C-alpha cells in the first residue's frame, strides 16, 4: 500500500504522462531531436586547420625545427625484408686515388628530410609530361653548324674512339672535371662541407667528391673524374672556358636565379652542357622541387616545353648501353623515396635532368674500394668520407641506408653521368651535311 505522502507525486506523474500523450506535436518533436542526435552526434562539422611546418629549420640549423605538437612525424616506412636490388659491389685490386680528407670541421649543411609520403604524379602531370618519342639520331632542329659547335664544346670529355652505345662503354676512357653549381639564393652546399669564407669557399667533402671518387676506382682509373674544390658560379663566364660536361645542382630551399645566371645556363645547354638537379628534400612539392622546376623552365625559355617523364626504356636504364647493366630502374633514395626521373630537352637530348630522391645525401655515405662503408677516420677522429650526422641517424630517422642501397645509387649516378657525357656522339654524326 502506498503511503499518503506518495499519492500526490504519483497523481502528478500520471497527469503529466496523460497530457504528454495528447500532445502529438510535442511528442513528435522529442522523437525527431533524439533521432538527430543519434545520426549526427558523432560527426565533426569543422576541423581545426593547422598550418604545415616548413621543410627545413632556420639557417644554420641541422634539423627540422618547430613545435612538436604541430609537427608530429608520420610513421616511418617499413624496412623491406630484402633490398630492392641485390648487387655485389665490384672489388678492386688497387687504386691510385688518394682518400678524400676532411679539411674543415665546420657543421655540415644537412637538413633532415621530411617523412611525408611521396606524392605520385597525377594524371594531369603524366599527360603534360609524357615523353615525345624521338628516333635515334633525330636532330630535332639541329643544324650542321650547331652540331659542329656541340662537337667542339664536348671534345676532350672522352678519350679514344667509340660511341656511348653498347657495353663497349666499359672499355672506353673518360677524363673530365665536374662542378657543383653555386647559385643565387638557396643553399647550394646542402650536401657538401666547405671551408673558408665567401668568396673563397672550397668544397672539402661530400656528395659530388664521393661520387666521382667511386667512379674512378670502380673503373680502375679508366674514368678520371676530378671534382673541382671550387664551386662554379653560374653568373661567371668561366663556364664557357672550362666546358664542364655537366653541373650538379642541389639544395633544399626556394630560390630565384639572376638574369645573368639564366643567360649563361641557356647558352651553356645549347652548346652541349647539362645540368643534373637533385633535391635534398626527397619527394615532390618541397620548396626546392617547386623552385627548380620553375627556374629551369626559365632557363630553357621555350614556353611550349614541359618536363618529360623519362620512360623505362630510356638509354639511362638500357642494360645494353650503360656502365652498370644491373641498374634497370630508378633506385630508391633517402627514406625509400623512388620518384621518377624528369628532364627538359634541347635538340631532342637531355639538357636538364632532375631527381627528387635525395641521392646527394646517399652519396654522403662514402664507400671504399670494396663497396663497403668507408669508416676510416683522420688523426682528429673525424670520418674522411662520411657525414657523421647522417651515419649516426641511419636506420632511425634516416632510412634506406644500407651498403646495398647506397651502392645502387652510386651505380645509377655513374650510368647517368656517362650518358650525359656521351649523349651527343651519335646525334652530331647524324646531322646531314649541307
Domain harbouring 404, CATH code:
3.40.50.12140
Cα 110 from Cα 219, distance rounded (Å):
30
- Predicted local confidence at residue 164, as pLDDT: 47
Q: With contact defined as beta carbons under 8 Å apart, do 92 and 217 qualify?
A: yes
Taking the C-alpha atoms of residue 23 and residue 279, their distance in angstroms, rounded to an integer, is 72
User: Phi and psi at residue 227, in whole multiples of 5°?
Assistant: -85, 130
Domain assignment present for residue 78? The answer is: no
Stated pTM of the model? 0.70
The pLDDT of residue 110 is 41
Burial category of 43 from C-beta neighbours within 10 Å (exposed 0-12, middle 13-18, buried 19 and up)? exposed
- On whether residue 402 sits in a domain, the answer given is yes
CB 100 within 8 A of CB 226: no
Residue 159's alpha-carbon distances to 164, 173, 239, 424, in angstroms, are 12, 5, 21, 15
> Does 58 reside within a domain?
no
Sign of CA dihedral 293, 296, 298, 304: negative
- Compute and round to an integer the Cα radius of gyration of the chain: 30
From first to last of the 434 residues of the chain, give the pLDDT tens digit: 555 555 555 666 666 556 655 556 666 666 776 676 666 655 544 444 333 333 343 333 332 333 333 333 333 334 333 334 333 333 333 333 333 333 333 334 444 444 444 444 444 443 333 333 333 334 567 788 888 899 889 888 877 555 544 557 888 999 999 999 999 998 999 999 998 888 788 999 899 999 999 999 999 999 999 899 999 999 999 999 999 999 999 999 999 999 999 999 999 999 999 999 999 999 999 999 999 999 999 999 886 789 999 999 999 999 888 999 999 999 999 999 999 999 999 989 999 999 999 999 999 999 998 899 999 999 999 999 999 999 999 988 899 999 999 999 999 999 999 999 999 988 777 766 64
3-state secondary structure the chain: CCCCCCHHHHHHHHHHHHHHHHCHHHHHHHHHHHHHHHHHCCCCCCCCCCCCCCCCCCCCCCCCCCCCCCCCCCCCCCCCCCCCCCCCCCCCCCCCCCCCCCCCCCCCCCCCCCCCCCCCCCHHHHHHHCCCCCCCCCCCCCCHHHHHHHHHHHCCCEECCCCCCCHHHHHCEEEEEEEEEECCCCCCCCCEEEECCCCCCEEEEEHHHHHHHHHHHHCCCCEEEEECCCCEECCCCCHHHHCCCCEEEEECCCCCCCHHHHHHHHHHHHCCCCEEEEECCCCCCCHHHHHHHHHHHHHHCCCCCCCEECCCCCCCCCCCCCCCCCCCCCCCCHHHCCCCCEEEEECCEEEEEEECCCHHHHCCECECCCCCECCCECCCCCECCECHHHHHHECCCECCCCHHHHHHHHHHHHHHHHHHHHCCHHHHHHCCCC
Specify whether the backbone of 395 is left (phi greater than 0), alpha (psi in -120 to 50) or beta. left
Residue entry with cell 560527426: 43
Instruction: Look up the domain containing 323 and give its range.
Output: 138-430
- Answer whether residue 86 is part of any domain: no
Q: Is residue 236 part of a domain?
A: yes
- Under 8 Å between Cβ of 76 and 297: no
For residue 124, being part of any structural domain is answered with no
Based on the structure, what is the number of domains in the chain?
A: 1
Q: Is residue 243 part of a domain?
A: yes
Q: Where does residue 301 fall: left (phi above 0), alpha (psi -120 to 50 degrees), or beta otherwise?
A: left
For residue 279, CA distances in Å to 287, 300, 379 come to: 9, 19, 33
Q: Does residue 305 lie in a domain region?
A: yes
Amino acid at each position: 500500500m502506498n503511503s499518503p505522502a506518495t499519492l500526490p507525486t504519483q497523481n502528478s506523474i500520471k497527469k503529466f504522462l496523460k497530457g504528454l500523450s495528447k500532445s502529438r506535436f510535442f511528442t513528435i518533436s522529442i522523437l525527431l531531436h533524439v533521432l538527430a542526435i543519434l545520426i549526427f552526434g558523432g560527426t565533426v562539422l569543422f576541423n581545426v586547420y593547422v598550418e604545415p611546418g616548413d621543410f627545413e629549420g632556420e639557417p644554420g640549423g641541422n634539423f627540422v625545427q618547430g613545435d612538436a605538437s604541430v609537427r608530429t612525424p608520420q610513421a616511418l616506412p617499413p624496412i623491406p625484408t630484402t633490398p630492392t636490388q641485390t648487387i655485389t659491389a665490384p672489388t678492386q685490386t688497387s687504386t691510385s686515388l688518394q682518400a678524400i680528407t676532411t679539411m674543415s670541421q665546420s657543421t655540415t649543411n644537412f637538413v633532415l628530410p621530411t617523412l611525408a609520403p611521396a606524392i605520385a604524379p597525377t594524371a594531369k602531370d603524366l599527360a603534360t609530361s609524357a615523353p615525345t618519342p624521338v628516333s635515334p639520331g633525330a636532330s630535332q632542329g639541329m643544324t650542321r653548324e650547331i652540331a659542329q659547335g656541340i662537337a667542339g664544346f664536348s671534345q676532350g670529355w672522352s678519350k679514344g674512339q667509340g660511341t656511348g652505345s653498347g657495353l663497349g662503354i666499359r672499355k672506353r676512357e673518360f677524363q673530365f672535371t665536374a662542378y657543383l653549381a653555386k647559385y643565387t639564393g638557396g643553399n647550394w652546399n646542402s650536401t657538401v662541407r666547405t671551408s673558408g669564407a665567401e668568396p673563397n669557399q672550397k668544397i672539402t667533402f661530400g656528395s659530388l667528391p664521393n661520387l666521382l671518387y667511386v667512379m674512378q676506382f670502380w673503373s680502375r682509373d679508366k674514368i678520371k673524374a676530378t671534382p673541382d674544390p671550387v664551386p662554379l658560379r653560374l653568373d661567371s663566364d668561366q663556364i664557357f672556358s672550362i666546358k664542364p660536361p655537366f653541373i650538379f645542382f642541389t639544395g633544399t630551399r626556394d630560390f630565384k636565379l639572376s638574369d645573368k645566371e639564366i643567360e649563361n645556363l641557356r647558352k651553356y645547354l645549347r652548346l652541349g652542357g647539362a645540368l643534373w638537379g637533385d633535391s635534398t628534400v626527397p619527394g615532390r612539392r618541397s620548396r626546392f622541387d617547386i623552385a627548380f622546376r620553375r627556374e629551369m623552365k626559365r632557363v630553357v625559355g621555350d614556353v611550349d616545353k614541359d618536363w618529360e617523364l623519362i620512360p623505362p626504356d630510356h638509354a639511362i636504364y638500357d642494360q645494353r648501353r650503360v656502365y652498370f647493366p644491373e641498374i634497370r630502374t630508378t633506385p630508391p633514395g633517402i627514406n625509400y623515396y623512388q620518384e621518377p626521373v624528369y628532364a627538359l630537352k634541347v635538340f631532342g637530348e637531355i639538357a636538364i635532368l632532375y631527381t627528387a630522391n635525395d641521392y646527394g645525401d646517399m652519396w654522403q655515405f662514402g664507400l671504399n674500394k670494396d663497396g663497403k662503408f668507408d669508416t676510416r677516420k683522420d688523426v682528429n677522429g673525424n670520418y674522411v668520407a662520411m657525414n657523421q650526422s647522417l651515419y649516426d641517424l641511419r636506420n632511425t630517422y634516416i632510412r634506406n641506408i644500407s651498403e646495398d642501397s647506397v651502392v645502387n645509387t652510386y651505380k645509377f649516378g655513374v650510368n647517368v653521368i656517362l650518358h650525359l657525357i656521351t649523349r651527343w656522339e651519335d646525334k652530331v654524326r647524324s646531322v646531314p651535311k649541307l
